[in-house]
Amino acid sequence: METAATEQRIRSFIEATFFFGQIDSLQDSDSFLDHGIIDSTGILELIAFLQDEFGIRVEDEEATPDNLDSIDKVSSFLRRKLDGARSASAGREVEGK
């Protein structure tokens, strides 16, 4: 998945859900928590978005600021999850042959 497109989808969700389209200064590296953008309920909304939009499962232990506290971090986390899912799928295909 292209990084720029992924980051734009995440940014669009954040802006529409938490800023209602009224933002012009959010940087991809800005902490959602430090800037008061997302609270604990917002994290749950972000997780639901990621699971629905990208077809991943966010485990409880993965719901940390290291993974979900900025557009950059969410994008990196999502890439790791999708890459892991592709690797697991490829491994199952090889085993099935």
Pick from 47-51, 74-78, 82-86: least confident: 82-86
pTM: 0.83
Helices 3-14 and 71-96: crossing angle, nearest 10°? 130
CB–CB of 71/10 below 8 Å? yes
pLDDT category of residue 19 using cuts at 50, 70 and 90: confident
pLDDT category of residue 94 using cuts at 50, 70 and 90: low
Alpha helices by DSSP H, listed for the chain, are 3-14, 40-54, 65-68, 71-96
- The pLDDT tens digits for 21-46 are 566 678 999 999 999 999 999 999 99
Please name each of the domains of the chain with its CATH number. 3-96 (1.10.1200.10)
* SS3 state of residue 95: helix
- Tell me the CA distances in angstroms from 51 to 1, 77, 78, 82, one per residue in order: 15, 12, 10, 11
